[in-house]
Amino acid sequence: MTQNASGANVGIESILGLQTQTAFQRLIGAQSFWVTIALAIMCAIMSYLQPASFATPENFYNITRNFSFIGIMALGMTVVIATGGIDLSVGSIMGLTAVSCGLTLEAGYPWWAAVAVGLFAGGVTGLINGLVIAYVGLSPFVTTLGMLSIARSVAVVLSGNRMLYKFGPSGPAFKYLGGGAVQFAEGYELSFPLLFLVVLMLILAAVYKMTAWGRHVLAIGGNEQAALLTGVPVKVIKVQVYVVSGLAASFAAILNVGWSGSAINALGATYELLAISAAVIGGANLMGGEASAYGAFIGAALIFTIRNALLMEGVDSNWQGTFVGAFLIAAVYLGKVRGARRE
């Protein structure tokens, strides 16, 4: 115990500063860092190969807007994944939200009422998911798989299986929400969805880093029993994460309907897989306890840049899934290798 004895003589200051990892080591240990590098390399190569079509303001605008919808869903997904859960219903929640917004607008209500109804639809669907998972004790996979089917079916029934596009007097305002843009330099525009994504990402990053709630979410994913024994309100938080995920999906749907100008009940089909892929590529661990807001952002960015790059290179669009899938598996493998080294 000589080490202990000498340990008693050192000041408190000296152990407070000590960490096993330096900031640099933590940076290169983060999966999102490597995904960022991969994205930068891909952009550099594409800018060289296709200077006239890839590296243009229009293409930048399109890619960033396209990945923003998935990015916003993926932000909500990280919170669920952080607790060790999964939300397969987010794509169907988008369809349900789209139909809810469309019907509200067609009935002539103002744009903010449509936004409120849309968020309500997503929030309530998430609430049902959360209550069943936390209080009935069914697995997140099965519960949200069931909800995937239920929410889509309700969306089809509500819409009467038709496209909703006669948005009434408030239509233009609602469409501006998802389709608008701000110009930040001559010829360069940033879409509203991207701005919303960035703001939400910063908020979520602060929640993870600075709030007890964010820490409790990660604690539940790390060791649910420990969280319970130390007095963390595990069930309440589990309900909340599914509400957050539902709200994120419905907000993405609101922006998407605004951008496209029409509401279809099929909106978001298979998007749940893209949202999960984005979160996982960005470093979220499906076993729980690891997730980051920036990871969801960069994961979504990478997926849509791959798709865009393949299109520009003239690769048959049916191959996109193969590339995205390969990246996903590679990301999980990298995460596993890093995890093994850390243990």
Partner 1 sequence: MRVLELRHVSKYFGAIHALTDVNLTLDAGEVLGLMGDNGAGKSTLVRVIAGNYPPTHGELLIGGVEEHFSKPAESRAKGVEVVYQDLALCNNLSAAANVFLGREIKRGVWPFRVLDHTAMARRAGELFMELKSETRPRDLVRQMSGGQRQAVAIARTRLSKAQMVLMDEPTAAISVRQVAEVLDLIKRLRDSGMAIILISHRMPDVFTVCDRVAVLRRGTKVADKPIKQSSPEEVTGLITGAIAAA
Q: Which residues bind partner 1 (CB under 8 A)?
A: 1, 3-5, 7-8, 12, 15-16, 18-20, 210-212, 215-216, 218-219, 221-223, 225-227, 229-232, 289-290, 342-343
Closer CB to partner 1, 191 or 285, in the complex: 285
Provide the minimum distance between the beta carbon of 208 and partner 1 in the complex, in angstroms, as a whole number: 10
Closer CB to partner 1, 79 or 164, in the complex: 79
Closer CB to partner 1, 95 or 288, in the complex: 288
Q: Cβ distance 94 to 271 under 8 Å?
A: yes
Cβ-Cβ contacts under 8 Å for 29 (sequence gap 6 or more): 21, 338, 342
User: Can you name the residues that pair with 188 across neighbouring β-strands?
Assistant: 185
Provide the minimum distance between the beta carbon of 63 and partner 1 in the complex, in angstroms, as a whole number: 33
Q: Cβ distance 246 to 126 under 8 Å?
A: yes
**Nearest to 176, CA basis, from 259, 246, 110:** 259
Q: Cβ distance 62 to 179 under 8 Å?
A: no
Provide the minimum distance between the beta carbon of 287 and partner 1 in the complex, in angstroms, as a whole number: 10
CA 248, 251, 257, 263: dihedral to nearest 10 degrees? Answer: 70
Closer CB to partner 1, 225 or 318, in the complex: 225
Closer CB to partner 1, 44 or 206, in the complex: 206
Provide the minimum distance between the beta carbon of 226 and partner 1 in the complex, in angstroms, as a whole number: 4
Closer CB to partner 1, 83 or 308, in the complex: 83
Closer CB to partner 1, 15 or 136, in the complex: 15
What are the distances in angstroms from CA 236 to CA 217, 230, 233? 11, 15, 6
CB atoms within 10 A of CB 271: 23
Alpha helices for 107-160 (secondary structure H) = 111-131, 140-159
What are the distances in angstroms from CA 272 to CA 70, 137, 275? 9, 22, 5
* Secondary structure class of 191 (helix, strand, coil): strand
Q: Which tokens in the block code for residue 169?
A: 């007097």
Closer CB to partner 1, 207 or 266, in the complex: 207
- Residue 23, classified by CB atoms within 10 Å of its CB into exposed (0-12), middle (13-18) or buried (19+), is exposed
Provide the minimum distance between the beta carbon of 77 and partner 1 in the complex, in angstroms, as a whole number: 18
Structural element, H or E, at residue 228: helix 224-229
What are the distances in angstroms from CA 165 to CA 178, 259, 314, 331? 15, 12, 33, 40
Provide the minimum distance between the beta carbon of 214 and partner 1 in the complex, in angstroms, as a whole number: 8
Closer CB to partner 1, 1 or 185, in the complex: 1
Taken in order 86, 331, 199, 70, is the CA torsion positive or negative?
negative
